[in-house]
């Protein structure tokens, strides 16, 4: 991919009877790019390594000595974002209590990119944040939210949805205290059948 590092290796063998120094020159499209010198004893072999980064897509002829290959460099794919692991903690609260909403955003594309994360509650934009995510990396985003009206709230982040509940407040009432009747101390009489 453009911008990636290609590692090129060439084995150099001294086929003479004496100690020798070999200047291994890396050619890219027949132009000298880098040179490394290696000292070799008679019959010795050493691997010479070069690193190469190309920022333009295309085909490049790579040569060291009498060996050559073609290096294909492709344009890196653009950033692509995937949303997962949407979570709401806790799932039920009292009015004005906070829930924590988290989601994971992964860049599955080939280059770094900016993602505008928009959190919606009941299809209304609640919060927005812009994050930069390198290719192949993930970021966990966290949003604290509090609602004061009881009900079920649907959270949407990207194409993932979940719900949380704001419960009706519990109202405690005192039971009615029975009133004492004013009897004259006589036992009440009951009806007979």
Which residue range forms the structural domain that includes residue 144? 81-166
pLDDT at 57 exceeding the cut of 80? yes
pLDDT (tens digit per residue) in 142-184: 999 999 999 999 999 999 999 999 998 777 666 666 665 555 5
Where residue 193 falls among pLDDT bands split at 50, 70, 90?
A: very low
Mean pLDDT, range 55-75, rounded to an integer: 94
Are 85 and 162 contained in the same domain?
yes
Contacts of 28 (CB under 8 A, 6+ apart): 52, 60, 61, 62
Which is higher by pLDDT, 81 or 170?
Answer: 81
Average pLDDT, the chain: 89
Angstrom distance (rounded) from CA 86 to CA 157: 8
Angle at the Cα of 127 (from 116 to 153), degrees rounded to 5? 120
Residue 169 has what pLDDT?
76
Is residue 92 in some structural domain?
yes
Q: Is the pLDDT of residue 44 over 90?
A: yes
How many structural domains compose the chain? 2
Reference 127, options 108, 107, 100; nearest CA is: 100
Do the domain assignments include residue 174? no
CATH (domain of 66): 2.60.40.10
- Mean pLDDT value of segment 6-13: 93
């Amino acid at each position: 991919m453009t911008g990636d590092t290609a590692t090129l290796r060439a084995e150099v063998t001294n086929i003479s009877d004496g100690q020798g120094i070999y200047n291994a020159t890396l050619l890219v499209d027949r132009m000298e790019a880098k040179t490394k010198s290696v000292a070799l004893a008679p019959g010795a072999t050493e691997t010479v390594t070069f690193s190469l980064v190309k920022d333009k897509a295309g085909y490049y002829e790579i040569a060291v000595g009498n060996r050559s290959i073609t290096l294909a460099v492709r344009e890196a794919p653009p950033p692509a974002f995937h949303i997962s692991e949407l979570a709401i903690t806790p799932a039920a609260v009292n009015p004005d209590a906070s829930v924590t909403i988290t989601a994971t955003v992964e860049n599955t594309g080939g280059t770094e990119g900016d993602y505008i994360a928009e959190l919606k509650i009941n299809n209304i934009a609640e919060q927005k944040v812009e994050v930069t995510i390198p290719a192949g990396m993930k970021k966990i985003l966290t949003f604290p939210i509090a609602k004061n009206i009881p009900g079920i709230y649907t959270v949407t982040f990207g194409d993932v949805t979940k719900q949380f509940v704001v419960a009706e407040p519990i109202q405690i009432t005192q039971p009615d205290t029975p009133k004492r009747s004013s009897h004259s101390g006589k036992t009440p009489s009951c009806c007979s059948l």
